[in-house]
Amino acid sequence: MTNTPWEAASPRYKKLVFTAMATMGVGIILAIIGANIHSLPTVYTAIAIMFLGMLGHVGAMMIRAKDARQWRIDNGLAAPRKKKNAQHDGQ
């Protein structure tokens, strides 16, 4: 893994981040338009679109954390997680 997270990021992380940024951008522009034309439904729609963009960012952070953990496991810096059993202690 390099010193810059963007260079080490997976393609799916990059795609999701760009999609989330574009969605947020559309929401912000729509909110500005809605505020200037005094259209409350437009503003509420913009808020919903921005919320979807934020969910995209959260999803991207989860992918990034998973990729970073896998890199640490692959390089011997972390132990793989143990699988959970349906039965505990020989029951």
Tell me if 80 is assigned to some domain.
Answer: no
Tell me if 87 is assigned to some domain.
Answer: no
How far apart are alpha carbons 4 and 58 in whole angstroms?
20
DSSP string, 36-65: HTT-HHHHHHHHHHHHHHHHHHHHHHHHHH
Domain that holds residue 22: 9-72
Going by pLDDT thresholds of 50, 70 and 90, the confidence category of residue 9 is confident
Going by pLDDT thresholds of 50, 70 and 90, the confidence category of residue 2 is low
Tell me if 18 is assigned to some domain.
Answer: yes
Going by pLDDT thresholds of 50, 70 and 90, the confidence category of residue 3 is low
The pLDDT, as a whole number, for residue 89 is 55
What is the pTM assigned to this prediction? Answer: 0.75
How far apart are alpha carbons 59 and 48 in whole angstroms?
17
Give the chain's domain count.
Answer: 1
Going by pLDDT thresholds of 50, 70 and 90, the confidence category of residue 69 is confident
